[in-house]
Amino acid sequence: MRISKRLAPLARRTAVAAALAFAAVAPLAGAHAAQPEQYFPLQSYRVGPYAAGGTGFFGGFIDYMNLINIRDGGVNGVKLTWDECETQYIVERGVECYERQKTHVPGPSAWNPLSVGIAYAMIDGVTADRVPLITIDHGRTDSTDGAVFPYVFPLLMNPYSESSGIINFIGSRLGGDAKLAGKSIVVLYHGSPYGRETVPIYKLLAAKYGFTVKQIEVPAPGTEQESEWLTIRRISPDYVVLRGWGVMNPVALKTAQKVGFPADHIIGNVWSNSEEDVIPAGDAAKGYIALTTQATGTTYPVVQQIEKVVYGAGKGNLADKSRIGSVYHNLGIVNGILNVEAIRIAQARFGDRTLTGDEVRWGFEHLQLDPARVKALGAEGLFHSINVTCSNHEGDGYVTFQQWDGAKWVRISDWIAPDWALLRPIIEASANKYASEHNITPRDCTKETVASN
């Protein structure tokens, strides 16, 4: 009795202090809760030889995030935020940006460096930080195996799928895959990790379909290609696959014209498919064909909304409005859709709040957008679909082909599915080799775990 009496004032004082402390903290917590944000670090490149790709892609990504913020007030009330750090597509600058941006509060949702070299340098870091690394349409092919690379996502299309899609397309031009036998194909690739990535897969495809392949490297950045095209003229192949990047592409098309190789027998890959690649080549580009994972143009509802809502409000990111709906811009928009939908899917599981990197990773691993959902997002025809799982971080994207008519890209094929079954064992073998070199125990994809960072 007496003890409780003596303790009463103490209890009262504690209660008052606690109330005061709560009153002091509550407004801060409230302010924080009123404006939760989801932060995206953008390692962009707006100057240097690859600026066309950088401004278009990051412009599209930012435009889409702006659309979500302006039109919907964020993703379920969570605002999207971002900042940019210039890399010039140089690896050590990208690494510096990574170190700089990862200290942001709240932490990064996902990294989108749009550079194979930078992505390679970040794999260890993001795995330790538990934040996903997105390499849409490019990246390390074996990172498709999510058991070994839990935080790396070569979304929509990895380089092997791209190569397989191109060979299937050439087969269809010739009148069936059987006709590939005995044909000759030259692959002209950019002298960088990105360019070299597909060397083994073209060898494998050549062995499978019975065509001969000659792979020629163009030293980066690729402003000088006389000797390479003279070699091509000597070989006189049936098709040339152009695996270029940036300034290498228009130079290739012009040089091809000089040595008399027909443009409609050059098939560009996904980083040789933009307006910025063909317009500087002028006449030489007419008839040139290139692969893409997302269609070009402004006829899609989501692109039109960006034009109306974002550019209408004066918040558009592209300095030149005529680039709206261009290849890189639309790729940036598709990348925005995939990132935002991963957030939305993760929110459905974890709640409408600021998510940790690992929770966003969970969202990406459940990023399943069928054609109906793509249509609901206003992107029907812009891209086909995606179906990411824990073990398949690519998500089985479809590809299509477009031809440059001298003024615009015209789609000339249906959505084509690459030969995933053929590629999967090579991807797993390569991923397992990486795992043993780096002492990684591949995780079991039947069990799911999420760390709260």
Question: Rounded to the nearest whole angstrom, what is the least distance from the CB of residue 395 to other proteins in the complex?
Answer: 21
Residue ranges in 188-247 that form contacts with other proteins under rule CB under 8 A: 191-194, 196-200, 217, 220
Q: How many beta carbons lie within 10 A of that of residue 428, not counting itself?
A: 17
Q: Which of the ranges 49-57, 263-271, 292-300, 376-384 carries the binding residues for other proteins, by CB under 8 A?
A: 49-57
Does residue 444 bind other proteins (CB under 8 A)? no
Does residue 111 bind other proteins (CB under 8 A)? no
**CA pair distance 187, 214, nearest whole angstrom:** 6
**CA pair distance 79, 82, nearest whole angstrom:** 10
Does residue 82 bind other proteins (CB under 8 A)? yes
Taking CB under 8 A as the criterion, the residue among 47, 313, 407, 410 binding other proteins is 47
Q: How many beta carbons lie within 10 A of that of residue 100, not counting itself?
A: 13
What are the two backbone dihedrals, phi and then psi, of residue 445, each rounded to the nearest 5 degrees? -75, -5
What are the two backbone dihedrals, phi and then psi, of residue 377, each rounded to the nearest 5 degrees? -80, 0
Residues forming beta bridges with residue 218, ordered by sequence position:
190
Question: Rounded to the nearest whole angstrom, what is the least distance from the CB of residue 112 to other proteins in the complex?
Answer: 14
Residue ranges in 402-431 that form contacts with other proteins under rule CB under 8 A: 430
Does residue 156 bind other proteins (CB under 8 A)? no
Does residue 124 bind other proteins (CB under 8 A)? yes
Q: Which of the ranges 85-93, 146-154, 162-170, 228-236 carries the binding residues for other proteins, by CB under 8 A?
A: 85-93
**Side-chain half-sphere CA neighbours of 193 within 13 A:** 15
The answer to whether residues 257 and 233 touch, using CB atoms and an 8 Å cutoff, is no
Does residue 138 bind other proteins (CB under 8 A)? no
**Residue type for position 340:** V
**CA pair distance 153, 392, nearest whole angstrom:** 9
Does residue 100 bind other proteins (CB under 8 A)? yes
Please give the structure tokens belonging to residue 94: 């990208």
Question: Rounded to the nearest whole angstrom, what is the least distance from the CB of residue 41 to other proteins in the complex?
Answer: 10
**CA pair distance 387, 379, nearest whole angstrom:** 16
Q: Which of the ranges 114-122, 285-293, 298-306, 349-357 carries the binding residues for other proteins, by CB under 8 A?
A: 114-122
Judged by the rule CB under 8 A, the positions of this chain that interact with other proteins are: 44-47, 51, 54-55, 82-86, 88, 91-92, 95-96, 99-100, 103, 116-117, 120-121, 123-125, 140-141, 191-194, 196-200, 217, 220, 430, 437-439
